[in-house]
Amino acid sequence: MTCQASNELEQLVLQARPYSSQGKLATYIPALEKANPSHLSVAIFHLDGTCTYAGDYKQRFSLQSISKVLSLAYVLARIGDEEVFQRVGMEPTGDPFNSIAKLETTKPSKPLNPMINAGALVVTSLIPGADLKEQWEDFLDFIRTLTGNPEIAYNKELQESEFSTSYLNRALCFFMKQHGIINGEVEKIMELYTKQCSIEMNCLELAQLGAVFANNGRNPVSGEQIIPVQIARICKTFMVTCGMYNASGEFAMKVGIPAKSGVSGGILGVIPNRCGIGVFSPALDEKGNSLAGWKLLEFMNEKYNFSIF
């Protein structure tokens, strides 16, 4: 793999960086407050195996909600779409990612989609395995295969910080357990979920993982089909309709690519049949999307014209 610094991207980073001062770090997970709000990094991984990067590209960050696309791909591949979509829907909500509101008003109370917390918790509850250890290790192996880095791991401090403060996510789980949408022990689901959210990587690894989706599930370097074509398609579709929380419509309008963001400030972008993009900048807008990261993608779209629409 050849990765190179790009002057052109560096210029765009320079243009977007000032926006980071308008955003705020997520603080509801205490350990996320330790991030440096002025960080901004980007990498593009092309399907010919080359990649370019700019900004603070070495900086590692946790996936948070970006992991929701990956757990979905994994569970769909392992247990099949019928079982998954019996328990989680396919529609955007227009609500914040951690909202409980629609669970009460939708009958049966299955979450509207797998990109919101309620839906992602259902997906995590479906990760197969004899016990928590096996569930976690097999899932982590999948992430390592996707990034091509066998050292990918989760940040324990961050995981413990979220696990010990996740009252709202526990509430979502208990609500859904009451309604028969999830089975199993809530504490175990929470452990697995907070571990998947705390998986760390840099923008290069995130871009490489995005390139697998861009390449219809096939690793562009090894040629290995890691995710079945149909599942890669389902994931990209959810990224367009629900990937940027309740700002997905505006993002589709302004940038126009499948994308998924996380409250750590990471954004995974996928340009079908072209490249994967990894962006990171931890200061967020009021809906929880990386402010400078979003701006950078807008500038990139103006320059490279990558909207799929």
263 is catalytic: yes
Answer left, alpha or beta for residue 180, where phi above 0 means left and psi between -120 and 50 means alpha. left
CA 265 – CA 62 distance, rounded (Å): 9
Does position 64 interact with ligand GLN (CB under 6 A)? The reply is yes
| Burial of residue 286 (number of CB atoms within 10 Å: 0-12, 13-18, 19+) | exposed
Euclidean distance between CA atoms 44 and 59, whole angstroms: 15
Among residues 162 and 285, whose Cβ is nearest to ligand GLN?
162
**Signed CA dihedral, 243, 151, 39, 12: sign only:** negative
- In whole angstroms, the minimum distance from the beta carbon of 157 to ligand GLN comes to 14
What character string, x for contact with ligand GLN (CB under 6 A) and - otherwise, covers 281-300? -------x------------
- Alpha carbon 120 to its chain's center: 11
Q: CB–CB of 207/44 below 8 Å? A: yes
Indicate if 102 belongs to the active site. Answer: no
CA separation for the pair 39, 60 (Å, rounded)? 11
193 is catalytic: yes
Q: Which of 52, 99, 117, 161 binds ligand GLN (CB under 6 A)?
A: 117
Q: Is 23 in the site for ligand GLN (CB under 6 A)?
A: no
- Here's the x/- map for ligand GLN, 77-106, by CB under 6 A: it reads as --------------------xx--------
> What residues have CB less than 8 Å from 75, skipping those under 6 apart?
84, 123, 126, 127, 128
60 vs 233, beta carbon nearer ligand GLN: 60
From 169, 208, 215, 290, residue interacting with ligand GLN (rule: CB under 6 A): 169
Binding residues for substrate: 65, 117, 162, 169, 193, 245, 263
Active site residues: 65, 68, 193, 245, 263
Query: Which residues contact ligand GLN (rule: CB under 6 A)?
Result: 64-65, 97-98, 117, 162, 169, 197, 262-263, 288
